Chain A
């Protein structure tokens, strides 16, 4: 029986669990911080000593923790890329700009267990010699910002934050910074620009890798809310125990946001790769299946930017055979383990961990039109292919869903999307192109049939006009 494994959300939904410090302390809060601050330098075989901060950095690397924000990049490696010899201050920013459509996991942590996030941040800052950090929360979460400010005040009052934390000699300040409704602020260099008080135009890489030239042109770490919470548990459990959770190269737990056409939408924390997409959707412990009488049409597996998966598809995944050898095996869609690597092998991504389910009553063209409108609205406007292309795609999909489509629109959409991806400063180009490419390729008949029907109707109307009868169209 597949089950949830709650590590990050262990207490969040327990009756009586409140977001205040007193409750957090009763549940072992800030013990990981105390443990880390008490670490002694570790002896190395060559006689040198590994300072406690470096031990935690090594542990995060050894734990296999991968970023939970979308890209799934190794958190330990991200930290190891930080330029520590520049002489400039190192900044850490918590990316709490949760706005990938379908995703609502960070909200649970911020609202129900804010101190866990703050403890994870303090540990991460301490391990990376950060003295000043920011919590960038999206503007549409005003209550979350208030909760975080209250929690930070409590942490300061109890010397978990501020000068000489718990007598360790370590100083740290964390401030809440609110965004103001722009999706692009989730992109880390756009977020940095926004934090500098500018329009959130992402920076070009190279040279502006945050690890070297980030906030105020100083080395900067940007980590997602959930990722930072995991650091606390890695310190608590030790890297090797933590790495036993999940599956190789896909360690730990992650919170999956499930929405759309399932009986029981919600968030579920699972061991990465231990539960399949089918179980997440159909098992009573998770989504509880589709509504009665409905059949699966498609799955958006990792936030709206991920490529769609069509019901009935199979994928070649690496599996260990009976002889212990890895071999490519055909795996049906619903049997794909929900982890970073399997979804990548299936040609898509687990992204922000957000699954949106579409059943057979849904019009795939309508669904894409909805998302295309999102991307057209959210393009920051810096790069021409994305600014113009996202709008053209949205317009083409608007006419296809409003009775003015053409059969050729399907190919037109593919053409535009292909000319956006890879031609922009940031990954938003891919984020808006991938849905279009995958929906149109996998459901081309739906798009062409809709366009052809509109054309036939328009031609019919023209013929009626020719014999001086009123057109049937109401437009």
Chain B
């Protein structure tokens, strides 16, 4: 399958580039937009972005490997980010993540993001999501969920399976 950026998305990206006096500055915003559209940053996406901004592919690839939010492989449709850091840990986020993992047949001892074989879920332990007063928090795709209980976790799993 060849890599193609739809014309309307490319127009959006071209507009983003105009926000900066130097094109290179747009790289993070372009990567966000491409990841949102394609689900991850492929090699082709790296090379396409580099060409778009007049850079070498390494200038983009080094961003994909540095910034934790960029992914080099597809993620599950339901992306569950459980906050790992202190305030959430005090409120039981380790147990919450283990709960998600056991419900989804994933290995709770693995630290890295894990995706279920059916491609429906990715569970990830992430650092502080800046909502510590509502610990434990979960970033579910783009929505931040406060004070997540095991029962709510079960609902998230049930909804994700139905998708």
Instruction: List A residues at the B interface (Cβ < 8 Å).
Output: 98-104, 106-107, 132, 138-143, 175, 177-183, 194-200, 216, 257-261, 265-267, 300, 304, 354, 356, 358, 362, 367, 370-371, 373-374, 377-378, 380
Contacts and interface: CB of A to CB of B under 8 A. Distances in A.
Contacts, number: 140
15 contacts: A101-B132, A102-B132, A104-B130, A104-B133, A140-B129, A180-B31, A180-B67, A197-B26, A200-B66, A260-B86, A266-B133, A304-B85, A356-B132, A374-B86, A378-B127
A258 B90 CA distance: 13
A257 B66 contact: no
Contacts of B90: 260-261, 356, 358, 362, 367
B32 A139 contact: yes
A181 B67 contact: yes
B108 interface: no
Which residue of A257, A259, A261 has the most chain B CB atoms within 10 A of its CB atom?
A259
Given A140-B139, A266-B133, A370-B84, 13 more contacts: A101-B127, A102-B86, A140-B126, A143-B143, A182-B66, A197-B22, A197-B26, A197-B59, A304-B85, A356-B86, A356-B90, A367-B86, A371-B86
B125 to A, nearest CB: 10
B6 interface: no
A216 B24 CA distance: 11
B10 interface: no
Interface string B122-136: 000011111111110
Contact of A181 (B62, B68, B132, B135): B68
Nearest to A106: B130
B128 A99 contact: yes
B78 interface: no
Nearest to B129: A140
Contacts of B139: 140
Nearest to B30: A197
Nearest to B85: A101
B83 to A, nearest CB: 9
Contacts of A143: 142-144
A72 to B, nearest CB: 20
Given A182-B68, A257-B133, A177 B86 contact: no
B134 to A, nearest CB: 8
A261 B92 CA distance: 12
B100 to A, nearest CB: 18
B126 to A, nearest CB: 7
Interface in B1-53: 19-22, 24-29, 31-32, 53
